[in-house]
Amino acid sequence: MLVTDVDSIQPDRIVPGAPVALVQRPSRAAITGLATAAIAATSVLLAPFWLIASRIIAEPATLSLAGEQPLVALQLVFGLIAALGVAGFAMRRLFRLIGRRRDVYIEAGTVTVTDVWFGHAKHWQQPLAAFCGLARVMRSTASGTRHMIVLIHPDARRHVVLTNTARPDGETLAVLMDQFGLPEVSDRLLAAEARTETQGQPMVAEAAGRLAA
């Protein structure tokens, strides 16, 4: 579950000195909007091909035109592939969010994360010492501007959102820095989340070391 996927966090306040136990979910409004957009985009993109298919079914002789004009037929095939690609991208994003939940538990210097998707759970665990620090992150959502405190890891896939509020919460950041024994770091490391899959982990780890120093 990516940082940008997290919207709802329960409880909405972290108790200083106590173990951190959070349940995180994506935005229902985002899922609904994405589903609507995906269906609309798919319908618009595939409508011309549906009309062509209907014409061929009604008049099979129309199919012979493909042999007479192979370039046009080839363009139609590539157009269909492109349309399916766009629709597939939207559906992939939708299925990544729907039915998703993340449970976070931090105690005794250990971070335990459980990602649940339609009942299938995936666990991972890391010591707090493996994290670079805490970053303040501001992002725009459908419900307005949100301010997050994110636990930054050299592996961008293991960043952990701790708070998600309507206003900056410097007091909670200071409490968490003291409780975890971690510094505040730049939110620039979050950009590595998008680059991790294509550029690997060494660059992320190196940048994390420089910013935490």
152 and 65 belong to one structural domain: no
Distance (Å, whole) CA 150 – CA 135: 5
Binning the chain into helix, strand and coil, the percentages to the nearest 5 are 55, 25, 20
Do residue 92 and residue 105 come from a single domain?
no
The torsion of the CA quartet 141, 20, 206, 200, rounded to 10 degrees, works out to -60
pTM of the predicted protein model:
0.66
pLDDT level of residue 62 (50, 70, 90 thresholds): low
Q: What is the mean pLDDT of residues 20-39?
A: 77
Burial of 160 (0-12, 13-18, 19+ CB in 10 A): buried
More confident of the two residues 104 and 187: 104
Q: Which domain holds residue 181?
A: 3-26+100-212
**The total number of structural domains that make up the chain:** 2
Same structural domain for residues 106 and 9? yes
| pLDDT, average across residues 14-38 | 80
Same domain assignment for residues 150 and 48: no
131 vs 159: CA distance, rounded Å: 9
Shared domain for 59 and 152, answered yes or no, is no
- CATH code of 187's domain: 2.30.29
- Over residues 149-158, the mean pLDDT reads 92
Same structural domain, 53 and 128: no
Question: 55 Cβ partners below 8 Å, 6+ apart?
Answer: 62
At residue 182's C-alpha, the angle toward residues 179 and 212, to 5°, is: 170
Tell whether 168 and 195 lie within a shared domain. yes
What's the pLDDT score for residue 207?
44
Q: Quote the pLDDT of residue 114.
A: 96
What pLDDT is stored for residue 169 in this prediction? 87
Same domain, 55 and 81: yes
CA distance 202 to 178: 28
Are 13 and 35 part of one and the same domain? no
Alpha-carbon span 18 to 180, nearest angstrom = 11
Mean pLDDT score of the chain: 79
> Quick one: pLDDT at residue 129?
95
Whether residues 17 and 82 share a domain: the answer is no
Instruction: Convert the pLDDT of each residue in 168-213 to its tens digit.
Output: 889 999 999 999 999 999 988 776 554 544 344 443 444 444 444 4
The answer on 205 and 133 residing in a single domain is: yes
Q: Which of 97, 114, 134 is the last residue of a domain?
A: 97
Same domain? For 75 and 173 the reply is: no
Name the amino acid, one letter, at 172. T
Residue that terminates a domain, selected from 51, 79, 97: 97
Q: Which of 97, 122, 155 is the last residue of a domain?
A: 97
